[in-house]
Structure 1
Amino acid sequence: MIVKMKFINISGPRNDIDRVTDQYLSRYEIQLESALSELKTVENLRPFVEINPYRDVLAKAVQFVSYLPNADTVTPDSSLGLDDMFELVRNASADYEDLQQKKEKCKNKIEQLRTKQQIIAPFRPLECDLHQVLSYRFITYRFGRIAAEHYHKMQKYLMDDLGAIFVEGERDESFVYGAYFVSPGEAKKVDAVFRSLHFERIELKDEFEGTPAYAYQKLEKEIARVNVEMNDLDKEAGEMLFDRAAQLVAAKNRLEELSNNFDVRKMAARMDENQEDYYILCGWMAEDDVDRFLEEIKDDDKVFVVVEDDHDAYFGEPPTKLENPKLFKPFEMFIQMYGLPAHNEMDPTVFVGLTYSFIFGVMFGDVGQGLLLLIGGALIYHFKKIPLAGIISTAGFFSTIFGFMFGSIFGFEDVLKPLWIRPIDHMTTLPFLGKLNTVFIVAVAFGMFLIIVAMILHIINAAKSKDVEGTWFDANGVAGLVFYLAVVVTIVLFMTGNPLPGGIVMGVMFGVPLLLIFLKEPLARRIEKRADKMETGPGMYVVQGFFEMFETLLSYFSNTISFIRIGAFAVSHAAIMEVVLQLAGAESGHPNWIGVIFGNLFVCGFEGLIVGIQVLRLEYYEMFSRFYSGSGRAFNPYTKKKKNNQA
């Protein structure tokens, strides 16, 4: 059902807005509207221009609480005052920043050590003491790398003629790393040769001890030590926050409330009157909450509330808040997907819940698979609160019922005796059509019934909206209902072998409703005594009306025939399971139970998904399109928390 809303104006001294918001409004669900835009007829309105004093400290509190493991299980410390909360967050922030600065120094040190590692790594195969080499006075050395193709040329043609020794380090796909040693007298000549071979020098500072391999390992140990230091800092930060967990959670919750309450100013307006500064808030509240709110503030002389009963006194349509029994609550998801009902529409949640589950059960009738959907969906919905899981569970219940009706359990048709029929076998003979599966005929008849119900719902919605044309002359109004009922009665009489009404009676039953539908616009204009003229001339109106009438008749036929898919899926489900059992060797009397299990799981998942989509299509296209617009807007209270609102 749709909760009835009321529009209220709340005003009082400007400096009292925080008290009112915290003491009263935070305990109710109220969708605030911008007072500046809603109350256009009120003069001297100004916006609030103030900076939220809680925003920065709240951001820090939220950050620290997010670092806590299982923060939801922490019991908040309710003994803190507001000043204590600010001091707590400031101290925690200072301690945390100090630890983060130390951690940042560790990160920089690791980067420096990694850079040194990258420099020394290619020279690890060299068996020499780097400190001694870098201290040579009578031997010139050069560390670096040379392209692989130049290195091979150097080895083949030049090394025998050069007074130098090249000691090779590591190689990769492009370069050979190493160092060459030469006497100082030959250094210029050798340097020139190596430069011509594109030798790239790598400068090594005298900061390494032992061999390159030893220096590399020493750097690796130092990196590991600094990583341990960083982990200790993280652990210290975690312990620091954990010791203050109860206070931080309490501060975060309270500051969040205060910040949200302060942000109410964004929707409020100020008004100066007789040198007094007032605030004005306005918005939508559930009728029951309005009554409790008025009772609570009746002795508060600083709060003034006006409940607007006149629709013309405010702008915009009321928001929609759905409130349905727990069993049907998950089906609100389908309503939200299509569009919420307007405030003057019927809430179709219960209708969808019943029809969706029932049709799904017929199309997917199996005791075993239905129980799997029922139990699995119920468990997921219980622990995860996923609406789709609740829908699956309800649909599984009806699948189980129709499994007994069809005598099917996990695809086996010879275990249970059907309480009604077996869809794949039971046939019915009809005049003109011959033999058809009984479920096809029942499905179409059931579709006719649902279309009639949808038309009735349309008439109710149109009557609530005071829409004369929609109530009486629409294709889904009274005229359309009379015509469709006449068609249904005629078909039933013909199929059951009973005599049809006389030609005059049929002409009246069919002709008069169609004529009213054709002339719906001028008739509605005449009844409502509207002075506006038709947008098109009479000739164009007749042409347009003809094609609209053709479309209407076609929609009656196509919508009705569309329900045959209910019977088709009931038959196909039995046929698919028959194939699964054949592949699993069930006919031989020694079935492959693994094949039976996986076949059932596949059908349960894959076909269940297809059936679910097809049923949703029937809901949206064959039923919703006849009575439901879904033009409402969601009720969005400024705080989702609804505390105990008893005084």
Structure 2
Amino acid sequence: MIEKMKFLSITGPKEDIDRVIDTYLSKYEIHLENALSELKTVKDLRPYIETNPYKDTYQRAQELAKLLPEYNSEEIKKTDVSIESAAKSIEDIGSQVEELTASQTELQDKIEALNQSLEKVFPFTGLNYDLSSILHFKYIKFRFGRILHEYYNKFESYVYDTIDTVLYKCREDEEYVWLVYFVPETVSNQIDAIYSSMHFERFFVPDEYKGTPSDAIHSLRDKISVLETQQNAIKSKLSMILETRREELLSALNRLETFSTNFNVRKLAACTKQNINTFYIICGWMSYRDANAFQKEISDDEKTFCIVEDDHSNIMSAPPTKLLNPRLFQPFELFIKMYGLPAYNEIDPTILIGITYSFLFGFMFGDVGQGLCLLFGGFLLFRLKKASLAAIISCCGFFSTIFGFLFGSIFGFEDVIHAVWLRPMEHMTNLPFIGNLNTVFVASITIGMGIILLTMILNIINSVRTHDRERTFFDTNGAAGLVFYASLVVTIVLYMTGNPIPATALLFLMFGLPLLVIFFKEPLTALLEKKAEIITEGKGMFVIQGLFELFEVLLSYFSNTLSFVRVGAFAISHAAMMEVVLMLSGAEAGNPNWAGVIFGNLFVCLMEGLIVGIQVLRLEYYELFSRFYRGTGRAFKPYGKKN
């Protein structure tokens, strides 16, 4: 169902807009519209051009709130703190946090610099010599670096003994050898070239260490430890400040959020000058219940006025759609929103899809045991996660359980309980002109015919509401299509029940006339709407196009009806799959492998349940919705919600 809406225009002195928004509108759900667009007939309307003074402070408050440990937006509670006090609190807390954060950042930069130095020195821990002395050699050049194992072995075997150099291996890993080599200053260029040819990768060690590399590493680690201690102390102080002022911060955040949001209403409001005073105008949609409560509340307010526009034809914007369904059917709104919300004056198909989806799923997946698993499993998942899909699964499981009793199947076993109705794989029906046909196929086609007739009626209702005469009277899913298809259904029923004479008479009387109406729907619509040109294209082209369209109509009636055969096919398929599971697990031989039975049931439940769910959704969208549902509505997006 779609909740009925009223269009309200709220006005008052310009300087009073914040009070009205905070006092009244924040209590009710109102879908705001742009007043400049809606009130085009009002003279001298101007937009608000003020900037939001609370925006930056509110953003700062949000950033501070995120620093709180275990912060949850639901923790924010409404308080009576003034907007000035809220802004001062955020400024005070922000300055404290900013000072501590700056100190923390400075310490972190120093720690990162020391870590980089540590990384440069660590590979040379095997060098047991004073670094400072090496870095100040006068006549001997030194090079710190690394070389791949492959080239190091070649260098040591073929080159090292032939050149003037001293090499000291410091450390090695799976890929590299870390080393230091020394050369006389006079031949350093030639020796460096030889090392480079061996893919030597040089590292530059800063001149800031005393003692051996091991001593330097210990010194660096001690410095890092001291800085980390200072950093932890700052973190503790920051946490203490935030925790001590937690309630103050959250109260200020709430107040700033309210005023920042309220100020944004100005984007959709308008101003108009009357005599010497300037008034604001706010327009929007409210439900009947909220609109009545709001009017009652402002009845004693001398500064606030409200005008209700009951005639929606005088309003530029279409009413938004707010679904209002029983709790049992609310999860099925998921499928509606996936397809598109209904327009305000359109039929809401939520209850229809809830009933038909669950019913068809149960028919195609009839099993008491597996149905109960879906029922309780979906229910528990819904209670834990509040997922709409879980609630839909639970509803489908309920109907699967019912059809399980009708089919006499429990976890695939058909000898445990008696079939209240029939066994899907065994029961046959003798039909005139056709012969024996599985009963579930007959039932599924009958159900499909009933659903198609129902959707045609819903299409006529929707078309009447939108004043679409062509779709109301002459469309394939309108009155002409309903008469044709209903007559065809009645004719088939009469033939199948052994009444050929009235069936033939009905066929001759009702078969041709509706098809002629559908064939001439365009000129008939033009005639009904009193248009000057009845046939826009040439008569020959009109006839050819009409014949092709009529053939497509007849073909679509036939294919859409046969599409429901899949309902019976899946019912038989489910029974056949469970029969295979029991056969493979040895249940038919009287000595079942219970692990195989459980695994087989689980596999069928998950795989076929998914496939059946998709197939039923396909039937809903293509065989039901395509006949009557437009889905052109826009969602109701309230500015404020009730306390």
Band of TM-score, shorter chain: over 0.9
Deviation at 1:21, TM superposition (A): 0.9
- After superposition, give the CA deviation of every residue in 1:397-426 in whole Å (9 maximum; x if it has no partner): 111111111111222222221111111221
Q: In the alignment, is residue 197 of structure 1 matched against residue 198 of structure 2?
A: no
User: Per the alignment, do residues 363 and 511 of structure 1 end up closer, same or farther by CA in structure 2, a change over 3 Å counting?
Assistant: same
* Distance in structure 2 (CA, Å) of the matches to 1:328 and 1:440: 29
Q: Find the counterpart in structure 1 of residue 588 from structure 2.
A: 587
2-structure distance, mates of 1:250, 1:589 = 71
For residue 429 of structure 2, give the secondary structure of its aligned residue in structure 1: strand
Deviations 1:512-571 (A, max 9, x none): 111222222333333343445432233322222212211111111111111111111111
Change (3 A) 1:67 1:405: farther
Shift of 1:224: 4.8
Asked whether 1:188 is paired with 2:186, we answer: yes
Name the CA distance, whole Å, in 1 between partners of 2:377 and 2:21: 44
Q: In the alignment, is residue 285 of structure 1 matched against residue 286 of structure 2?
A: yes
- The question of whether the paired residues in 1 share the 8 Å contact of 2:79 and 2:255 is answered with no
Looking at structure 2, the residues matched to 521 and 347 of structure 1 have their Cα atoms a distance apart, in angstroms, of 29
Q: What is the TM-score when the length of structure 1 is the normalising length?
A: 0.92
Distance 1:318 1:460 in 2: 19
Q: 2: distance between equivalents of 1:417 and 1:157?
A: 92
1:147 deviation in Å? 4.8
- Output the CA distance in 2 between the equivalents of 1:208 and 1:200: 22
1:469-493 per-residue CA deviation (whole Å, 9 max, x = no partner) reads 3222222122211111111111112
C-alpha distance in structure 2 between counterparts of 1:315 and 1:577, whole Å: 59
Alignment of 1:472 with 2:470, yes or no, is no
Q: CA deviation at 1:234?
A: 3.5
State the 1:163 CA deviation.
Answer: 5.5
Match of 2:12 in 1: 12
Match of 1:490 in 2: 491
Distance verdict in 2 for CA 1:101–1:271, change over 3 Å: same
Where does 1:478-517 land on structure 2 (aligned, <5 Å)? 478-501=479-502, 503-517=504-518
Write the mapping of 1:77-88 to structure 2, written as runs, cut at 5 A.
78=79, 80-88=81-89
**Contact residue 490 and residue 500 of structure 1 kept, 8 A:** no
Question: Map of 1:268-417 to 2, 5 A cutoff?
Answer: 268-417=269-418
Partner of 2:65: 65
Aligned partner of 2:459 in structure 1 is 458
Separation (CA, whole Å) in 2 of partners of 1:571 and 1:159? 84
TM-fit CA distance, 1:136 = 6.0
Given that residues 147 and 176 in structure 2 are in contact (C-alpha distance below 8 angstroms), is that contact kept between their aligned partners in structure 1?
A: yes
Whether the aligned pair in 2 keeps the contact of 1:482 and 1:509 (CA below 8 Å) is yes
Call closer, same or farther: CA 1:134–1:538 in 2, change over 3 Å. Answer: closer
| 8 A Cα contact 2:340 2:633, kept in partner | yes
> How far apart, in 1, do the equivalents of 2:380 and 2:519 lie?
53
Q: 1:600 to 1:70 in 2, by over 3 A?
A: farther
Describe the superposition over 1:345-383 as per-residue Cα deviations: whole angstroms up to 9, x where unpaired. 111111111111111111111112111211122222223
Distance 1:201 1:343 in 2: 75
Q: How far apart are 1:73 and its partner, in Å?
A: 6.3
CA contact (8 A) 1:77 1:247 kept: no
Asked if the contact 1:61/1:248 (under 8 Å) is kept, the reply is yes
Aligned to 1:608, the other structure's residue is in SS state helix
How far is the alpha carbon of 1:320 from its aligned partner? 1.0
Superposed displacement of residue 177, structure 1: 3.4
Alignment of 1:535-554 (within 5 A): 535-554=536-555
Contact 1:365 1:401 in 2 (8 A): yes
Q: Does the 8 Å CA contact 1:146/1:197 hold for their aligned counterparts? A: no
Q: CA deviation at 1:145?
A: 2.7
Matched-pair contact (CA < 8 Å) for 1:356–1:615? yes
- 1:29-44 alignment to 2 at 5 Å? 29-44=29-44
1:197 alignment partner AA: Y
Post-superposition offset of 1:157? 5.5
Q: Cα distance 1:602–1:252, how it changes in 2: closer, same or farther (>3 A)?
A: farther
Paired amino acid for 1:51: T
2:165·2:191 contact (CA, 8 Å) conserved in 1?
no
> Secondary structure of 2:419's match?
coil
Q: Which secondary structure does the structure 1 equivalent of 2:272 belong to?
A: strand
> Partner of 2:56: helix, strand, or coil?
helix
1:158 shift after superposition: 5.6
Contact 1:77-1:246 at 8 Å conserved across structures? no
- Counterpart residue type for residue 78 of structure 1: T
Deviation digits for residues 207-247 of structure 1 (CA, Å, limit 9, x no counterpart): 33443234335434544554454444334333332222223
Task: Give distance in 1, aligned partners of 2:74 and 2:554.
Answer: 61
Matches within 5 A, 1:222-237: 222-237=223-238
1:624 aligns to what?
625
Aligned to 1:446: 447
Q: Is the 8 A contact 1:35 1:269 kept in 2?
A: yes
Aligned residues: 638
For residue 431 of structure 1, report the CA deviation from its aligned partner.
2.2
SS where residue 586 of structure 1 aligns? coil
Change (3 A) 1:525 1:118: same
- Secondary structure of 2:307's counterpart equals strand
C-alpha contact 2:495 2:503 (8 A) present in aligned 1: no
Moved more, 71-80 or 388-397: 71-80
8 Å Cα contact 2:100/2:234 also seen in 1: yes
Which sections of structure 2, spanning at least 5 residues, go unmatched?
A: none
Match of residue 420 from structure 1? 421
Give the direction of change, closer, same or farther, for the CA distance of 1:165–1:427 in structure 2 (3 Å limit).
same
Indicate if the aligned counterparts of 2:487 and 2:506 stay in contact, CA closer than 8 A.
Answer: no
Counterpart Cα distance in 2 of 1:87 and 1:637: 30
Q: Give 2:642's aligned residue.
A: 642
C-alpha change, 1:323 and 1:220, in structure 2 (3 Å) is same
What are the equivalent positions in structure 2 for 1:103-182 lying under 5 Å apart?
103-134=104-135, 140=140, 142-145=142-145, 147-148=147-148, 155-156=156-157, 159-160=160-161, 164-171=165-172, 176-181=177-182
Change (3 A) 1:563 1:205: closer
CA distance in 2, matches of 1:210, 1:581: 80
Offset of residue 160 of structure 1: 4.2
Deviates more, 1:522-531 or 1:509-518: 522-531
Determine if contact 2:128/2:212 at 8 Å carries over to the other structure.
Answer: yes
Query: Which amino acid letter does the alignment assign opposite residue 34 of structure 2?
Result: S
Compute the displacement of 1:264 (Å).
0.2
Report deviation, 1:22. Answer: 0.9
Percent identical pairs in the alignment equals 52
In structure 2, what is the equivalent of residue 571 of structure 1? 572
Rate the CA distance shift 1:429–1:94 in 2: closer, same or farther, 3 A: same
CA distance in 1, matches of 2:544, 2:219: 93
Comparing 528-537 and 55-64, the one that deviates more: 528-537
Distance change >3 Å, CA 72–CA 281, structure 1 → 2 = closer
Deviation string for 1:437-482 (max 9, x for gaps)?
A: 2111100011111111111111222222333332222221222111
RMSD between superposed Cα atoms in Å:
2.5
- Structure 2 distance, partners of 1:49, 1:520, is 53
Unaligned runs of 5+ in 1: none
Structure 2 counterpart of 1:32, which letter?
L
CA contact (8 A) 2:343 2:632 kept: yes
Alignment check: 8 A CA contact 1:74 1:246 kept: no
Quick check: 2:368–2:405 contact (8 Å CA) kept in 1?
A: yes
